[in-house]
Amino acid sequence: MPSAKDLAQSVRELTRKHSAWFKDCIPLIASENLMSPAAREVLNSDLSNRYAEGLPGKRYYQGNIYVDQIETICEDLAREVFACRFADVRSTSGTVSNMAVLMALTKTRDKMTTVALSDGGHISHAKIGATGMRGIRTFNYPFDEKNMNIDIEGAKRLIREVKPKVALFGQSVFLFPTPLDEMKDVFSEVGCSTWYDAAHVLGLIAGRKFQDPLREGIDVISGSTHKTLPGPQHGMILSDLTKEGLETSLRRGVFPGVTSNHHLHSVAALAVTLAETREFGEAYADQVIRNAKALGQGLFERGMEVLCEHLGFTESHTVVVDVEQFQGGAKVAKNLEAANIILNKNLLPWDSDPVRPCGIRIGSQELTRLGMKEKDMVEVAELVARVVVKGEAPEKVKPDVIDFKRQFTKVHYCFFEGEEAYDYPAFDGDLK
């Protein structure tokens, strides 16, 4: 058995290897992104050692003089960026945000309408996730497979029949805006609360390039803060508080409901990210969507079955491809990883086996953060197609992936634009 020091040193070395590997990879996971140098700086600060419970000025611990100021700035920025009256930035992830909203809006055995997992819904919306743990009865919207979106008339019928306590929208495979405006009348008719999980598209909403849920009939938005919003791994809840008592319920849902200390270093990094989003968010969101469309077109032209070609493939950061003809999503994702192209297998609406789905999910947000434009997406599509369509050995494609990626190592759309994206604290020397 290795010594404790040897094990600790191994972890340091593995971490260094991971960072070096990703510097040479094309990152296409739709749920990941890169923080800016300024956000990384505050994340790696003494705040990571400290504790706070409660709200600014009403803490259960001392030592929060500066923490209170940071959190207040963060919430003020969130309200400004998302043009809303309420923001809580204490939840520590998107799923924790969802758990807090569930506590605020529901009780055990309440009914909720959701998007099915196979149609792109998130696991926390399902019986096997946070929703099921809360004891909520879920009913899935009919789904339009051709257009990869909720079937509007079918959803309205379902809401009228079920009369849910909450109608939940939002997906992990999120190609197009949800048709909320078209369903506003049924929300009012049934009297249900409405909730939108914006984890994947929060940055696109901030950049005014996707949709505006709070102006389209939604009571509460939840989300993680590290996907199209390129911040730390954390969570956020937003609302315009149109219903009495909602602010108190949401605050209590977060604390003491599902958090204690709320990762103060992440709140600081989120504040920096929101400030950068206020400055650069619109340009960033616009380029993310342009790149996703260009990548979809490039893959389609190279013989891959990219979904929704008739709608321009996507209006978000995500592209979805049916690769069943190339041995399915699991095999394709593994082969691409061997070539340093990182993406994930994904269920498609017609899939039945989550372990061997037909699809892969691709995101453009991290490559955009590294400064890539539409022409670069064509090169990415060619590298992917060489492995998937042409059947080239991954080890043959890998050197070309590395050469291509080494042109893009700087962070863009931030205050210290042009600094290294992979400049993490040095791991110098052995443990003493």
Side-chain-facing half-sphere of 104: CA atoms under 13 Å: 33
Distance CA 193, CA 170 (A): 15
Are the C-beta atoms of 381 and 390 separated by less than 8 Å?
no
* CA 206 remoteness from chain centre: 13
pLDDT of residue 352: 82
pTM score of the predicted model? 0.96
H or E element that contains 342: strand 341-342
Give which of 95, 91, 127 is closest to 112, Cα–Cα.
Answer: 127
Q: Which residues contact 402 (CB under 8 A, 6 or more apart)?
A: 24, 340
- Domain 25-32+280-405 in CATH 3.90.1150.10: yes
* Strands annotated E in 136-241: 137-140, 143-144, 149-150, 166-169, 193-197, 220-224, 235-239
pLDDT of residue 428: 65
Are the C-beta atoms of 285 and 51 separated by less than 8 Å?
no
The 8-class DSSP code of residue 141 comes to P
Distance CA 171, CA 197 (A): 7
Per DSSP, helices labelled H in 239-316 are 246-252, 264-301
Distance CA 409, CA 418 (A): 9
Per-residue pLDDT for the chain (432 aa), expressed as one digit of tens each?
899 999 999 999 999 999 999 999 999 999 999 999 999 999 999 999 999 999 999 999 999 999 999 999 999 999 999 999 999 999 999 999 999 999 999 999 999 999 998 888 888 888 888 888 889 999 999 999 999 999 999 999 999 999 999 999 999 999 999 999 999 999 999 999 999 999 999 999 999 999 999 999 999 999 999 999 999 999 999 999 988 899 999 999 999 999 999 999 999 999 999 999 999 999 999 999 999 999 999 999 999 999 999 999 999 999 999 999 999 999 999 999 999 999 999 999 998 888 899 999 999 999 999 999 999 999 999 999 999 999 999 999 999 999 999 999 999 999 999 899 988 766 667 777
Distance CA 16, CA 9 (A): 11
Query: Cβ of 371: how many Cβ atoms within 10 Å?
Result: 18
Are the C-beta atoms of 268 and 225 separated by less than 8 Å?
no
**Amino acid code (one letter) for 406:** R
* Strands annotated E in 71-116: 86-88, 111-114
pLDDT of residue 406: 97
**Residue written as tokens 């030592």?**
63
Are the C-beta atoms of 104 and 252 separated by less than 8 Å?
yes
β pairing state of 305-306 and 318-322: antiparallel
pLDDT of residue 427: 61
pLDDT of residue 425: 67
**Domain span(s) for CATH 3.90.1150.10 in the chain:** 25-32+280-405
| Degrees, nearest 5: CA angle 306-368-379 | 55
Q: Which residues contact 12 (CB under 8 A, 6 or more apart)?
A: 427, 431
Query: Cβ of 412: how many Cβ atoms within 10 Å?
Result: 20
- Domain 40-273 in CATH 1.20.1050.10: no
**Domain span(s) for CATH 3.40.640.10 in the chain:** 40-273
CA separation (Å) from 422 to 35, 42, 57, 298, 401?
Answer: 10, 16, 37, 28, 17
pLDDT of residue 82: 98
pLDDT of residue 34: 97
Query: Cβ of 129: how many Cβ atoms within 10 Å?
Result: 18
Q: What sign does the dihedral 333-335-338-340 (CA atoms) show?
A: negative
